[in-house]
Chain A
Amino acid sequence: MQHTIGLPAAISGTVAMFLILTQLACFRSVVIGELIRLYAVQSFLVAGIAAVVAVTTHAWDLGVLAGVTFLLKVVFLPGYMSSLVRGVSKRVEIPVRINVTLSLMLAAGVTGLAILVAARLTETAGVFLPRADLATALAIIFIGFLLAILRPNALAQVVAFLTIENGLFFGTVTLAPGLPFVIGMLLLVDVLVAVVVFGVLVRVLVDGQNSAAIHPFERLIG
């Protein structure tokens, strides 16, 4: 069952695998600052891929989109989220529902599912779909959902949501590079709005949690 592979396919596949690895790394990190940094790295990779696709297909609107993605998701959003956690501590540990090893195994299973689904889809759909890219996009989305489910922490869930969006963006860029510029921008603005809303919610939650954290001490008074 040995099969060979061309150089472009190998490179794009490897970059895609790195995307999945950053997504999986989110499970390993139990510190919120690290999660935000991982998100920045993943966004950087996605923006890079968009730029490469823009150059190879001569789609300059996609290049602009890549630039905006870079500014928004690598510079602005991580910075904004870091400022959100500044109220708490950046090294605060996120609670986990199940232990890291088990959640990694679950993530592996979900990734496997994504790869299988992508393989089946490309077989039966009868249209030309780059299998590796579809599998990667699906895997990132699935793992993002899993991350949101397994981390009962608002900020971690925001990061999970953002990585899901990264997966979607990666999918649109690689599977449908001819997608209109407006739709791409729309997705980005959508994320921006969502994050600002999330930000307000997190702010409220953090305030609430801070007061909740000192609650046990109130019994000690008088």
Chain B
Amino acid sequence: MPSIVLQGLQVAVVVFLAPLLTGSIARAEAMIAGKRGPSIFQVYRDIWKFLGKQSLIPEPASWIFRVAPYVACGAYAGVATLIPVLTTYPLPGATFGDILGGAFVLALGGFVTALAAIDSGSQYAHIGASRATMIGILVEPTLIFVFFSVAFVTGTDLPYAMNSALRGSFADVIRPAHVLATAAFFMMLLVDTGRIPIESSSATIEFGMIDDARTFEHSGPALGLFVWGTAMKQFVLYTIFCNVLLIPEGLSSTGSAASVALAAALLFAKMLLVGTVVVAIETSFAKLRLYKIPEFIATGLLVAVLAVFAYAVGVG
């Protein structure tokens, strides 16, 4: 297939499979808890329902409140052009930005969401935004160290090139620096997707909520877009974790329709694997107190720094 089509397909995979991943993880969580749980397509239904509803806008809100869901959703979908989702070879959009660029675009999504939350004038949304921003500030250095470490190991900071460098050698995937960086990224994955040591994703409304509190005042299509955007963000982070860091194999190298379909299926299988681990953590650990969250992130930072250190001194 021509690469421009593949590029479109890649974004489409992220946009349209993301709710399925969220739904599958929710289902797995319910099953482990001994419940039947919602259908794995429930998130699609939710989004569809939200999109068909009326939108209410709080009185003090300005245009930022209205624009934010579109910007956030667009940012999360846009990152999909930079990362290897389906193919081993870079597609036209792959060189728009490196992995730090991708992180910036993801951060843009979080930023406009926080702005909209403050713009809504609601205290609850405001608290969510302030918490999310505080955590974001702490997560950022860890991610940067993770990317440094992976860039050291692979000699590049383009996600596609990282993937191809790691695909070549199994030794590089299990060397200390890379394992530590992967572990640190996994911890930040838990933080960024709002999983249990940080916040409980299944609870609807509670005092400890962080990410979901930000969209308290949004309703109708705007809320639908935020739900979709959160799913996309999770899918993008899982893709980076699976295809760039953990298992670089299984991507299409020819670009033929069959191999691309296989690559998509394999990617989803890898994500379910990671999702199972996340669910296992979710069901076996308790949520941290809000003031303990920096400790968790500091541990991640420590692991990431150790990764860079181990590489730089030549230990691994």
Residues of A that sit less than 8 Å from B by CB: 1-7, 9-11, 13-14, 16-17, 20-21, 24, 28, 100-101, 104-105, 107-108, 111-112, 115-116, 118-119, 131-132, 135
Say whether, besides A7-B170, A14-B174, A101 and B313 are in contact (CB < 8 Å): no
Query: Is B176 an interface residue when CB atoms closer than 8 A count as contact?
Result: yes
Bound CA–CA A24/B176 (angstroms)? 16
Bound CA–CA A17/B309 (angstroms)? 12
For residue A151, give the distance in angstroms from its CB to the closest CB of chain B. Answer: 16
Residues of B within 8 A of A7 (CB): 170-171, 174
The contact of A10 among B175, B294, B295, B298, by CB within 8 Å, is: B175
CB atoms of B303 and A21 under 8 A apart: yes
Residues of B within 8 A of A135 (CB): 313, 315
26 contacts between A and B (CB under 8 A): A1-B152, A3-B314, A4-B169, A4-B171, A7-B171, A9-B316, A10-B174, A13-B175, A13-B316, A14-B179, A16-B176, A17-B180, A21-B180, A21-B183, A24-B302, A28-B299, A101-B294, A105-B302, A108-B306, A111-B306, A115-B313, A115-B315, A119-B314, A119-B315, A132-B315, A132-B316
For residue A108, give the distance in angstroms from its CB to the closest CB of chain B. Answer: 5
Bound CA–CA A17/B177 (angstroms)? 9
| Chain B contact residues: helix, strand, loop or mixed | helix
Say whether, besides A13-B175, A17-B176, A101 and B316 are in contact (CB < 8 Å): no
Residues of A within 8 A of B155 (CB): 2
Residues of B that sit less than 8 Å from A by CB: 152-153, 155, 169-172, 174-176, 179-180, 183, 294-295, 298-299, 302-303, 305-306, 309-310, 312-316
CB atoms of B171 and A112 under 8 A apart: no
CB atoms of B298 and A115 under 8 A apart: no
What is the chain A residue whose CB lies nearest that of B297? A101
For residue B137, give the distance in angstroms from its CB to the closest CB of chain A. Answer: 14
CB atoms of B295 and A28 under 8 A apart: yes
Say whether, besides A16-B176, A108-B306, A115-B310, A131 and B299 are in contact (CB < 8 Å): no
Bound CA–CA A165/B245 (angstroms)? 34
Say whether, besides A2-B152, A111-B309, A119-B314, A13 and B302 are in contact (CB < 8 Å): no
Residue in A14, A21, A131 with the greatest tally of chain B CB atoms within 10 Å: A14
Bound CA–CA A139/B298 (angstroms)? 19
8 smallest beta-carbon distances between A and B, as pairs:
A13-B316, A13-B176, A10-B175, A17-B176, A7-B171, A101-B298, A10-B171, A132-B315
Say whether, besides A10-B316, A14-B316, A115-B310, A104 and B176 are in contact (CB < 8 Å): no
Residue in B155, B295, B305, B316 with the greatest tally of chain A CB atoms within 10 Å: B316
Residues of B within 8 A of A101 (CB): 294-295, 298
What is the chain A residue whose CB lies nearest that of B153? A2
For residue B26, give the distance in angstroms from its CB to the closest CB of chain A. Answer: 29
CB atoms of B313 and A5 under 8 A apart: no
Residues of A within 8 A of B302 (CB): 24, 104-105, 107-108
Residues of B within 8 A of A118 (CB): 313, 315
Bound CA–CA A17/B303 (angstroms)? 10
CB atoms of A100 and B295 under 8 A apart: yes
What is the chain A residue whose CB lies nearest that of B307? A17
